[in-house]
Structure 1
Amino acid sequence: MRTVEIVSGARHEDILDSVRAYHREFPDKPFVPGSTPILASGAVLNEDDRVAMVSAALDMRIAAGTIARKFERQFARSLGIRKAHLTNSGSSANLLALSALTSPMLEERRLQPGDEVITVAAGFPTTVNPILQNGLVPVFVDVDLATGNTTADRIAAAIGPRTRAIMVAHALGNPFPAAEVRELADEHELFVVEDNCDALGSTYRGRLTGTFGDLSTVSFYPAHHITMGEGGCVMTDNVVLARIVESLRDWGRDCWCEPGEDDRCHLRFKQSMGTLPAGYDHKYIFSHVGYNLKTTDVQAALGLSQLQRLPEFTATRKHNWRRLYAGLEGTEGLELPEATEGSDPSWFGFPMTVAQDAPFTRRELISFLDGRRIGTRLLFAGNLTRHPAYLEREYRVSGDLTNSDIVTERTFWVGVYPGISDEMVDYVVESIREFVKGAVR
């Protein structure tokens, strides 16, 4: 048996050496302006990433197991948070985080159907959908155009007698005023769900985003700061909330054994719950109406490899944003973004708003950039209340949504992700300036 293990291990390493050699057969191609696509976002994968995935596949790590648990521990440690639970997407992470607040385990603090959750109108649907999916009522607030974020004052004005929670995303990596929102929530005994999917590595007042909420979420979709292909994570320092998230993710079961374990609590056949027979198998007792939202070890292996590169990716995103800003500053007809005061964003993108009196439209500029193979994106859904999916849903609006409408009509963004080189950034700047110069004449 020992001989077989040695031979098997040697063969494993031989295969991985071949994978490295295979990866090197595909060197990066030189940038050709107007021909090479400049994507708005994307994954940056290297030799180590490919090897990590193949190694997990060779070991037949086809479900969530030891590698997923290792990622959860390392990721939680990287943020200084007590618990992290890996899931199959950032959207699922948001669903789990908000759903956790409706758990009977929270007793009188649990959110009940009809309770209100404050959020922003200008954003991505998966920050809002879990509110509706749990029978709760979104309360929409507006944003500032310069930062893309709402403010503590807007949130304070939105608080009503049925308000129980705040669920807000950091816009394109730019932090909302998380410390002030946290203080406001504590004052009014509200939960905070911090959607950190676009802001991994950002800081506010010197503290990492994703550490201010009762629960926070991250996405590992290829567009985001690190990737697993698909994947997400829910983080919390609250062990009760962590236990609820784990239960909801894993079918709603009450048992917390790892896959393959049978009796971690030593009470498998010694408990009485619900109206089940005394001593019913704890592995098949369900305390929540849950889901199966787990991921796999192959994805987690990629995540572990990518996590080592997060500081490098963060630095490149900041560099590309600064280079774009320096190149576009003063461009007529464009309103450029601002970092939230006291923040250091790990930017997801570089947003711009076409001025109301500009001699060109957003559509004309985007069409020009598309012709040069420069990718653009709108600021996600813009004003969500204007979309077909939400027209007949129950919600409340606090104040007006003037800036959310401007975002819908005049804002877009270009990429800053680490796959974009200085040469690409300069070409984007040159192209925008050329278009504006022609339009202004």
Structure 2
Amino acid sequence: MTDREDLLSRIREFHNRAEERRFVAGITEIQSSGACLDADDKTALAEAALDMRIAGGIVTRKFETAFARKLGMRKARLTNSGSSANLLALTTLTAAELEDARLQPGDEVVTAAAGFPTTINPILQNGLKPVFVDIDSTTYNTTPEAVEEAIGPRTRAVMLAHTLGNPYPVAEISEICRQHDLFLIEDNCDAVGSTYRSQLTGTFGDLATVSFYPAHHLTTGEGGCVLTDNLVMARVVKSLRDWGRDCWCEPGESDKCGKRFKHLLGELPYGYDHKYIYSHIGYNLKTTDLQAALGLSQLTRLDDFCARRRHNWRQLRQGLDGITYLAMPEPTLGSDPSWFGFAMTVMPDAPFGRIDIVNFLEGRRIATRGLFAGNLLRHPAYSGIACRIAANLTNSDYVAENTFWVGVYPEITDEMTDYVIASIREFVSGYRKAAAWTPAKTVEEKA
């Protein structure tokens, strides 16, 4: 055994010797999300570190190829976060390569008011105007009808996230985009492995984005990805990610294309070094081989992760079936979600508010989260932004006040889920009993 093999073997043994955590109800925190890391992940990181893979290179390209193949897409471009992936995807639609189809400042992009800021921010950061639509109160996604009604003369694109892993009716919305000549970006950060009409989400639009933050289905620590079948868009994404370079050679490659000193672009002299010619106003949003090595290891367990998320969600749904005062989530018709979380909404007739049940659960070490930003337009950052509200945002406002979710990520065990179910039922039962009890009338009241 070589020194390297011995070291990696010791790392694996170290991981396997770690004491298994025993769940203690009310003491052990049940997180809303988290990374699922094993000995293979740890040794993959160690191998990359031993090779000093501290920048993006061969491992990054290997993960891009493997991930694109897994999702059935032609190209994947890794980046440093899901937020950056959204920025790159939307900015790509403004590129000159798209000619007359490119988005121009002031063009409109339809999106949901109830969601996460990074779906909205790239629209504003590119000088475009968001058009906000409401959501359905059972799936927490918008509807094809709402999207179609929101389309106006300057609407050029739709950018929507699959909420908590539950797909929106993406086939129908994709068809609406086709009919109206609109681009579609799928924010698939919460929904890797979800399907709609037996087709993976993230494969319906012009571009799709993924997050590899530890909360998500796969993790590279920090990280994200843009996927597309459009080779022109894939090249633009890569350029924008890599400082705006025109060159398609990877960093560290000298002249793979054989044309490094044979270009005439812009007002530069003929033969100017192609590695230093810039065709876009870009960023440095690259990832590293260390992160990609972890991603490759994680990818081998994606199907298992998705299966466990579905299992945990079903256990919660069955265990809470018929409960009063709380509206239960429903998968979009025709979908098979790879769930990110289990959402519940306090109903209007409930004798308690969201804050009451959230405080109760948090007191029992059960982590909760709101439905991301609720209605984004109610946040200070978005006060006074240039936007259009397509219709009233009644449901977005309601979830901002009354919706929360608990975790279903793979490391949550059946025992933990049973404890969550029992805690929620205990809380609701206490209010139900109080509502059923009425004090005896006094002599004066009887009179």
Q: Compute the TM-score of the two structures, normalised by the length of structure 1.
A: 0.98
Of residues 254, 271, 284 in structure 1, which corresponds to 2:246?
254
Q: How far apart, in 1, do the equivalents of 2:237 and 2:325 lie?
A: 47
Matched, 1:73 2:59: no
Q: Secondary structure of the residue that 1:184 maps to in structure 2? A: helix
Q: Secondary structure of the residue that 2:3 maps to in structure 1? A: helix
Matched, 1:49 2:41: yes
Q: Show CA shifts across 1:321-369 (max 9, x none).
A: 0000001111110000000000000000000000011011100000000
Q: How far apart, in 2, do the equivalents of 1:303 and 1:269 lie?
A: 36
Per-residue deviation, 1:275: 0.7
Aligned to 1:336: 328
Q: Show CA shifts across 1:2-35 (max 9, x none).
A: xxxxxxx811111100101111221321110000
Letter of the 1:82 counterpart: R
Q: Secondary structure of the residue that 1:248 maps to in structure 2? A: helix
Letter of the 1:267 counterpart: K
Q: Show CA shifts across 1:28-48 (max 9, x none).
A: 211100000000000011110
User: Structure 1: where are the runs of 5+ without partners?
Assistant: 1-8
Q: How far apart, in 1, do the equivalents of 2:418 and 2:249 lie?
A: 53
Per-residue deviation, 1:392: 1.6
Of residues 303, 312, 322 in structure 1, which corresponds to 2:295?
303
Q: Secondary structure of the residue that 1:172 maps to in structure 2? A: helix
Matched, 1:428 2:413: no
Per-residue deviation, 1:262: 1.4
Aligned to 1:210: 202
Aligned to 1:170: 162
Per-residue deviation, 1:269: 1.0
Aligned to 2:74: 82
Aligned to 1:412: 404
Letter of the 1:415 counterpart: G
Q: Secondary structure of the residue that 2:164 maps to in structure 1? A: coil
Q: How far apart, in 1, do the equivalents of 2:65 and 2:350 lie?
A: 50
Q: Compute the TM-score of the two structures, normalised by the length of structure 2.
A: 0.96
Aligned to 2:312: 320
Q: How far apart, in 1, do the equivalents of 2:204 and 2:383 lie?
A: 32
Q: How far apart, in 2, do the equivalents of 1:406 and 1:338 lie?
A: 17
Letter of the 1:260 counterpart: G
Aligned to 1:182: 174
Per-residue deviation, 1:371: 0.7
Letter of the 1:128 counterpart: I
Letter of the 1:284 counterpart: Y
Q: How far apart, in 2, do the equivalents of 1:199 and 1:190 lie?
A: 23
Letter of the 1:167 counterpart: M
Q: Name the stretch that deviates more: 271-280 or 84-93.
A: 271-280
Aligned to 2:89: 97
Q: How far apart, in 2, do the equivalents of 1:257 and 1:15 lie?
A: 35
Per-residue deviation, 1:425: 0.2
Matched, 1:60 2:56: no
RMSD (Å) for aligned C-alpha atoms? 0.7
Q: Show CA shifts across 1:265-308 (max 9, x none).
A: 21111111111111111010000000000011011010001000
Aligned to 2:272: 280
Q: How far apart, in 1, do the equivalents of 2:202 and 2:19 lie?
A: 36
Q: How far apart, in 2, do the equivalents of 1:260 and 1:391 lie?
A: 45
Q: How far apart, in 1, do the equivalents of 2:181 and 2:28 lie?
A: 52
Q: How far apart, in 2, do the equivalents of 1:135 and 1:357 lie?
A: 43
Per-residue deviation, 1:260: 1.3
- Runs ≥4 residues deviating over 6 A: none
Q: How far apart, in 1, do the equivalents of 2:278 and 2:5 lie?
A: 43
Of residues 187, 196, 203 in structure 2, which corresponds to 1:195?
187
Letter of the 2:417 counterpart: V
Per-residue deviation, 1:49: 0.5
Report the identity percentage: 66
Aligned to 1:437: 429
Q: Show CA shifts across 1:232-257 (max 9, x none).
A: 00000000000000000000000011
Matched, 1:132 2:152: no
Of residues 201, 211, 216 in structure 2, which corresponds to 1:224?
216
Of residues 12, 21, 26 in structure 1, which corresponds to 2:13?
21
Matched, 1:385 2:374: no
Q: Show CA shifts across 1:88-124 (max 9, x none).
A: 0000000000000000111111100000000000000
Q: How far apart, in 2, do the equivalents of 1:36 and 1:270 lie?
A: 63
Aligned to 2:103: 111
Letter of the 2:425 counterpart: R
Q: How far apart, in 2, do the equivalents of 1:104 and 1:301 lie?
A: 34
Per-residue deviation, 1:426: 0.2
Letter of the 1:355 counterpart: M
Q: Show CA shifts across 1:357-401 (max 9, x none).
A: 101110000000011000000000000011110112100001110
